[in-house]
Structure 1
Amino acid sequence: MDESRNPAPLDGPPVRRARLWLRPALLTIGGIAAALLLVAIDQVLAGVLLAALALLMGFWTSPLRRGRHVPLATALEMRSDERAIILWAPGDPLSARLQTAIRSGRPDVSWVNVLQDPMAQEFLRTSGGRGALPLVIVGSHVLRRATVGQLLDAMADGAERAAAQSESA
């Protein structure tokens, strides 16, 4: 794939790069400020715990967190009604909810981190942009801003379609 047409996620315009870091920076700075206030009123243990939580949340929502990732090209090769492909991004609250609910390394789910994959970035742009995350693909069906319930329903429907196709064959 031509790298000049699909820049790495942090090679884009400065404004776009800054937006990726806005939420992590606010979480970290706000948490550290609150922790310092707790320390100032002699709540040292609570302050230390809050500072640690702020650093963890800053990392969790930042582009530094790699998370689960399969290249989109690889995931699309295995595309079927019995598999889900989930495009996600660090820092996206709906993506984090979906990852929390679908924790185990399920063989029927492929996670694609759009910040690591130029092909996934292009697919996301043509499918509604960052506002469509998490984007779920099950067979030929695409779900934008998918919830856990919608993902599980789509996978059940896909399994039914696959079973109907195998019976008719």
Structure 2
Amino acid sequence: MQRRWRLATVVAACGVVLALVKISADAPVSAAIWLAVFLIFALVSSPLLFPRHERAAAAVADGRPVVYWRPGCPFCVRLRARLGPDAARLHWVDIWQDPEGAATVRSITGGDETVPTVVLAGRGYVNPDPSWLRDQLQPTS
């Protein structure tokens, strides 16, 4: 659990330190701006932007597409943000919490843990374009 929050905590702590330095230099407005910027980056790099973690076994059994991700991954954040409300139609598996999910990613990517990795209809896609994935999620009529 600590590993998931490490990057967000470091970013937030850097923001606090920078704000304290700016306050000591009599620049409270600058301190507030920098603190806000760092806290936004901390939020983006935290696991809070993603739906609740699911286990890989349960996610695969459902039949919906599965996104394997990890906190702090800018490509995962981009995918999540660009999918918007469609992201709720996917299962999100945090590979740092699920060793089975990490093993699945390694088998798809040839041994590394490159994320986001999406499994759609039994086929794996590494870092797919968000608009392509959104098109794949649309019902065919």
- Provide the secondary structure at the position in 2 that maps to 1:136: strand
1:95 aligns with 2:79: no
- Provide the secondary structure at the position in 2 that maps to 1:111: strand
Q: Distance in 2 between matches of 1:76 and 1:100?
A: 23
Superposition CA RMSD, Å: 3.1
Give the Å deviation of 1:58: 3.2
Give the Å deviation of 1:86: 0.9
Q: Aligned residue for 1:27?
A: 11
Larger Rg: 1
Q: Aligned residue for 2:61?
A: 77
More helix by share: 2
Q: Distance in 1 between matches of 2:20 and 2:77?
A: 28
Find the partner of 1:57 among 41, 52, 77.
41
Give the Å deviation of 1:110: 1.3
Q: Aligned residue for 1:116?
A: 97
- Structure 1 length normalisation: TM-score? 0.63
- Provide the secondary structure at the position in 2 that maps to 1:104: helix
Amino acid of the structure 2 residue aligned with 1:100: A
Gaps of 5+ in 1: 1-8, 11-16, 164-169
Relative distance call for 1:153 and 1:142 in structure 2 (3 A) is: farther
Q: Spell out, residue by residue over 1:5-45, the C-alpha distance to the aligned partner (whole angstroms, 9 max, x if none).
A: xxxx87xxxxxx6xx84x44653354334323432442213
Identity of paired residues, percent?
Answer: 21
User: Quick check: 2:54–2:93 contact (8 Å CA) kept in 1?
Assistant: yes
Give the Å deviation of 1:61: 2.1
Q: Distance in 1 between matches of 2:79 and 2:31?
A: 30
Gaps of 5+ in 2: none
Amino acid of the structure 2 residue aligned with 1:119: E
User: Quick check: 1:133–1:146 contact (8 Å CA) kept in 2?
Assistant: no
Q: Aligned residue for 1:3?
A: none
Q: Aligned residue for 1:39?
A: 23
Q: Spell out, residue by residue over 1:104-153, the C-alpha distance to the aligned partner (whole angstroms, 9 max, x if none).
A: 375531111212212111112222223x2111111022210123123123
Q: Distance in 1 between matches of 2:89 and 2:9?
A: 35
Amino acid of the structure 1 residue aligned with 2:127: R
